Structure 1
Amino acid sequence: MITSLLTSFLRGGSLAQRAAAVTLLAGPPALLAAALAARPVGFGCALVLVCLAERFLEQVRGRQLAVLRKARLGLGVRALLRHLLAVLLAVRAGCPTSVVVSAATLSAALPAAQSAHEVMARVLRERARTPVVVRDGEDRVPDPGADLGGACRRIDRAGLPALAGLTLAASTGTALPAYAGIALSALEAALCLARTARRVARSSPACRTTAMEDTNRWLAARAPTVVLYFSGSKRSGYQVDMWLRAVERLDEPAVVLLRERAVLERLAPTSLPVLCVPAAVDVMALDLSSVRVGLYVSNVGRNIHLLRVPTLKHAFVGHGDSDKAASSNPYAKVYDEVWVAGPAGRERYRSADVGVEDHRVVEIGRPQLAGVRCDAPGGPDALTTVLYAPTWEGWADGPGGIPLVVAGEAVVRRLLAMEPPVRVLYRPHPLTGTRSKRAAEAHRRVAALLAASDPDTAEPDRRSAHRVVTGPDAPDLYACFNEAHALVSDISSVVPDFLASGKPYAVVDVTAGVDATTFADVTAADAAPADTLRARHVTASAGYSVLPDGRGLEELVAAVRDPGADRLAGARRRLRTHLFGTAGGDPQDRFGAAVRRLAEQAERRNRRQEGRPSPAPAPGPAGHAPSDCTPLPGPDHRTSPTS
């Protein structure tokens, strides 16, 4: 545990950040040695360096401070340690007893003041927090009481005058600097507490009734027809992000309804109005009389708070089609319809036999993939770029273990060792490491491998440098598709989405042994059941197989560099049709038509309940939801270097 924390603390960031981290780590031993030796000059120098390093890491938001907080060594604990070492210096330097007692009293009083301030800050945040947060436009939502964290830091730093005074007193043998510093520190902490206490006294709780009335007037003015609904952790917000642009392009007015403030704070920029309503009772108080369609991107328990509204039609759109069990979840029975990309999605629910009736499954294509290109990036002479996009560890380890843990380092090492060189884009799943520490450690090792392989320059050429694609400002998955010549992944929705490009891909089989027969040229049509990865998973049937040790990657890269050696090009075209359907056209149009049809169904249902005549239903095949709109266009009409 300690070794892991030390490694995390010293790894990552710029050279200046690592130097500051080393300074911060070496500071306490240096202060202790100077205090025991009664060397005030050395103590003062070490103190200045430690404080400067700490301040620098705060300004650049260095990850080292997060590691210290995780180890229960936050700013307050570090400040207390410095005060105790300063008291030790005063004792060793022979300062008067009154100075030592005053300094020790301040050392105990400052943590108490910080605790009192944190309590008041919590009260202020709760009072400032409204039951509903509305974001209309792309402005980020301010955190009520965000400035209170700065006040906590000011209390911690209130002890700096006392530290300086004690150091000077130990150096000169005069008590006056110590008394002056202690007095200044006590005064600053008292003023900070007094200001916050005054804010608490003047604050009042936000009125829930007024907030809900204002929100419902806001909803009535916009009269949305569609709600894009999401509930989940802050790191799962990518699931709703992928649908924002498609919903923005609908003809019907739409609103995003979130349940967690942390997701709202990280939501991708969007022109859609956004509501964040954490409490179930407040969701039930919303005026949704204009809404006809609810779109759900994940299967979570809190969906029930919108599913209970009978005037809506509810459709599950998911956050990617894959061969995972999550893509045929029995939870889907609660929706009026389940929207999938194409025939493969329908067959997945049919074969899973989880109670989702076939006529409720509607093929709508993948509107997110409209911008995925088929052409090779950078022209014919560009450095071959391979995107490695492993999935996360899931809620439980699958057969063969966690793909990133089992094969991640081996895959990357083999790619880095290739000649001619290969450029690697590494894009881990956003949830990587949230459940498994082993997955988090594997991610760090892979990132370190790529960092060590890059040119040793301050600004490496982005076209040739390897890249770890993570963080809120990183390109999205589809932009990575357009920057890559090939994909290496495992069983996840990344694989079928990449098929829209028509470019070669490989799937890592973590369940495979080292038998060379794994690489037999077997297609989904003629493979013996369970003999190969291709036979077990539809999305792998047109991909090259890779063993956990990386063997098989050479064939993938050869297919990129020599289209004549790409033996699976035809299989990819056939699988793409199976996944996304056969018709051409804009997939956004197909998505929009599905929304309009479902809205019309909801309106007819509501009219029947109110006793009003209903318009004639839209024509559609008997026993199935009407499907008269176009699917994702196959890239066949575009030029592909690998086909």
Structure 2
Amino acid sequence: MPSAGLATRRAVQLAALLALAVFYTVQLAGALLPNVPVFVAASLAGLALDLYLTHQQPGLLALLGKVRFDVTTRQLLRDMLVVIGLVRIPEVPPDIERPLTLLLLASYAAHFLCQAVAQLVRRTRTLPVVTRNIDTSSLKLTHAPSRLLARQPSRRLLRFSIPGTLGLTLSASLAVEEWGLVGVGCTLLLSLGSAFYLATWLLPKKRSRSEQEVMAWLDAWLARYKPTTGMYFSGGTTSAYQANMWLSTLAELEGRPLIVLRERFMVQKIDATDVPIVCIPKVSHLMHLEHSTLKVLLHPANSGKTSQVLRIPTLKHAFINHGESDKLSSCNPYAKAYDQVWVAGEAARERYRLAEVGVDDKDVVEVGRPQLA
């Protein structure tokens, strides 16, 4: 049952949250007493739990992020407690605390440097359009860097922190400086190496095409493909079904169909289809459709971004809806913004007539249920 699954998931999240709090508390207690075995065990267990949460409990991490207790904060707190342990444990010589602390700070500086380079690379590689079922080989796009380095800073920080945490806890256990220096040094080198590796994507050889070049390519592709009828869709993460129900019908239309999306994430949420898909997030880029052979856009749903495409004077717009019923939403006044409203039959036409929402009867076209044909 869905409710049982939700209850189980929340119970797991609550248990993980309590365990996280316990590990931090025990780590602090082990550092202050000091109790080396307890301190080391809690430090390693906390890191292991964070690694588990990163892979298995993204929902809980999102909640922690909202209260500013994200991965960076948690790892920084964990390392601060390790430094406290090094200071408090009497067997650890005072002369090894300073170099280990400075090296640890340098590793965090390298992490933030890597993150800054990753953000810059992502920004330069973000194209003005996203496509599916379209040959983009002429753009000569380079392969993307590793997701771990470029798009997963939380996982990168935790994984790169493993040798540092191991080295510091070994130094605390054995009172030997070398383990900490080697471990934190590895963490530092991993972050620095990743930053320099990512920076190679900023060089001309790996740099993505400019916005002007990509839009020129899109214009050329539209001129070659010569689309005639398109389906325009914009919506949230759970609304893709509204477009998916029309895919088979769109594919069977005469001419050359095209799907126009506005949200990048929606490209992967559209079901399998051979129809070319182009996602154009910016309004200024959307206006390039004006110069194409596209004549009609079908709209399975209303959205805030629908008005943006209605501004293109060369296109006719038909509202096809994603299901009809007797509820008032099936006769939305927004429908009068379209050139035509396509409905299943006479009953739907009558609903618009009785609702008096400003849709002229001559603009209502009965098309039946093409999905069932």
Aligned-pair distance for 1:158? 2.9
Q: Which residue of 2 aligns with 1:293?
A: 296
Tell me the distance in 1 between the aligned counterparts of 2:327 and 2:24. 50
Provide the secondary structure at the position in 2 that maps to 1:318.
coil
Tell me the distance in 2 between the aligned counterparts of 1:266 and 1:22. 35
Say yes or no: does 1:265 pair with 2:268: yes
Q: Which residue of 2 aligns with 1:617?
A: none
Tell me the distance in 2 between the aligned counterparts of 1:265 and 1:112. 36
Aligned-pair distance for 1:152? 5.8
Q: Which residue of 2 aligns with 1:129?
A: 126
Aligned-pair distance for 1:55? 2.9
Tell me the distance in 2 between the aligned counterparts of 1:88 and 1:265. 47
Aligned-pair distance for 1:248? 2.0
Q: Is the 8 A contact 1:132 1:278 kept in 2?
A: yes
Tell me the distance in 1 between the aligned counterparts of 2:144 and 2:326. 43
Aligned-pair distance for 1:294? 0.9
Provide the secondary structure at the position in 2 that maps to 1:275.
strand
Tell me the distance in 1 between the aligned counterparts of 2:309 and 2:22. 54
Say yes or no: does 1:175 pair with 2:172: no
Tell me the distance in 2 between the aligned counterparts of 1:233 and 1:207. 28
Say yes or no: does 1:274 pair with 2:245: no
> Which of residues 83, 87, 110 is equivalent to 2:79?
83
Tell me the distance in 1 between the aligned counterparts of 2:101 and 2:196. 23
Q: Which residue of 1 aligns with 2:139?
A: none
Tell me the distance in 1 between the aligned counterparts of 2:89 and 2:166. 15
Q: Is the 8 A contact 1:120 1:200 kept in 2?
A: no
Q: Which residue of 2 aligns with 1:35?
A: 31
Partner deviation per Cα, 1:292-317 (whole Å, 9 max, x = no partner): 32101222343234323344321011
Say yes or no: does 1:186 pair with 2:192: no
Choose between structure 1 and 2 for higher RCO, CA contacts under 8 A separated by at least 6 residues: 2
Aligned-pair distance for 1:336? 1.2
> Which of residues 209, 223, 226 is equivalent to 2:226?
223
Larger CA deviation: 257-266 vs 194-203: 194-203
Q: Is the 8 A contact 1:161 1:181 kept in 2?
A: yes
Greater helix content: 2
Give the % identical residues: 35
Q: Which residue of 2 aligns with 1:208?
A: 211
Tell me the distance in 2 between the aligned counterparts of 1:164 and 1:349. 70
Q: Which residue of 1 aligns with 2:97?
A: 100
Tell me the distance in 2 between the aligned counterparts of 1:144 and 1:32. 41
Aligned-pair distance for 1:60? 4.2
Q: Which residue of 2 aligns with 1:253?
A: 256
Partner deviation per Cα, 1:97-139 (whole Å, 9 max, x = no partner): 343333443454444433333322222112112222221179x
Q: Is the 8 A contact 2:222 2:292 kept in 1?
A: no
Distance 1:137 1:244, change over 3 A: farther
Q: Which residue of 1 aligns with 2:310?
A: 307
Larger CA deviation: 216-225 vs 103-112: 103-112
Say yes or no: does 1:115 pair with 2:118: no
Amino acid at match of 1:180: V
Q: Is the 8 A contact 1:99 1:179 kept in 2?
A: no
Q: Is the 8 A contact 1:212 1:286 kept in 2?
A: no
Amino acid at match of 1:33: A
Tell me the distance in 2 between the aligned counterparts of 1:151 and 1:71. 18
Q: Is the 8 A contact 1:283 1:306 kept in 2?
A: yes
Q: Which residue of 1 aligns with 2:166?
A: 164
Tell me the distance in 1 between the aligned counterparts of 2:168 and 2:6. 31
Query: Which sections of structure 1, spanning at least 5 residues, go unmatched?
Result: 1-7, 371-585, 587-643
Tell me the distance in 2 between the aligned counterparts of 1:265 and 1:143. 19
Aligned-pair distance for 1:151? 6.0
Q: Which residue of 2 aligns with 1:635?
A: none
Tell me the distance in 1 between the aligned counterparts of 2:240 and 2:17. 31
Distance 1:306 1:82, change over 3 A: same
> Which of residues 49, 63, 88 is equivalent to 2:45?
49
Tell me the distance in 2 between the aligned counterparts of 1:14 and 1:74. 21
Amino acid at match of 1:194: F
Tell me the distance in 2 between the aligned counterparts of 1:200 and 1:98. 42
Greater Rg, structure 1 or structure 2? 1
Amino acid at match of 2:126: R
Q: Which residue of 2 aligns with 1:353?
A: 356
Tell me the distance in 2 between the aligned counterparts of 1:340 and 1:143. 45
Larger CA deviation: 75-84 vs 260-269: 260-269
Partner deviation per Cα, 1:166-216 (whole Å, 9 max, x = no partner): 222222233332333333332322222222234334554522232223223
Tell me the distance in 2 between the aligned counterparts of 1:338 and 1:273. 24
Distance 1:166 1:52, change over 3 A: closer
Tell me the distance in 1 between the aligned counterparts of 2:6 and 2:345. 47
Aligned-pair distance for 1:258? 0.5
Q: Is the 8 A contact 1:20 1:56 kept in 2?
A: no
Amino acid at match of 1:360: D
Q: Which residue of 1 aligns with 2:64?
A: 68
Give the total of aligned pairs: 359
Tell me the distance in 1 between the aligned counterparts of 2:171 and 2:341. 75
Distance 1:280 1:352, change over 3 A: same
Q: Which residue of 2 aligns with 1:376?
A: none
Aligned-pair distance for 1:82? 1.1
Distance 1:21 1:265, change over 3 A: farther
Taking structure 2 as the reference length, the TM-score comes to 0.83
Tell me the distance in 2 between the aligned counterparts of 1:107 and 1:228. 54
Tell me the distance in 1 between the aligned counterparts of 2:95 and 2:246. 66
Tell me the distance in 1 between the aligned counterparts of 2:178 and 2:357. 80
Tell me the distance in 2 between the aligned counterparts of 1:114 and 1:180. 17
Amino acid at match of 2:131: V
Q: Is the 8 A contact 1:260 1:278 kept in 2?
A: yes
Alignment of 1:427-576 (within 5 A): none
Q: Is the 8 A contact 1:125 1:144 kept in 2?
A: no
Distance 1:187 1:309, change over 3 A: closer
Tell me the distance in 2 between the aligned counterparts of 1:100 and 1:197. 33
Distance 1:215 1:240, change over 3 A: same
Q: Is the 8 A contact 1:80 1:107 kept in 2?
A: no
Query: Which sections of structure 2, spanning at least 5 residues, go unmatched?
Result: 136-141
Partner deviation per Cα, 1:509-537 (whole Å, 9 max, x = no partner): xxxxxxxxxxxxxxxxxxxxxxxxxxxxx
Tell me the distance in 2 between the aligned counterparts of 1:327 and 1:143. 45
Distance 1:182 1:312, change over 3 A: closer
Aligned-pair distance for 1:275? 0.5
Tell me the distance in 2 between the aligned counterparts of 1:9 and 1:115. 36
Say yes or no: does 1:232 pair with 2:228: no
Tell me the distance in 1 between the aligned counterparts of 2:330 and 2:296. 21
Q: Is the 8 A contact 1:118 1:152 kept in 2?
A: no
Larger CA deviation: 149-158 vs 36-45: 149-158
Distance 1:360 1:98, change over 3 A: farther
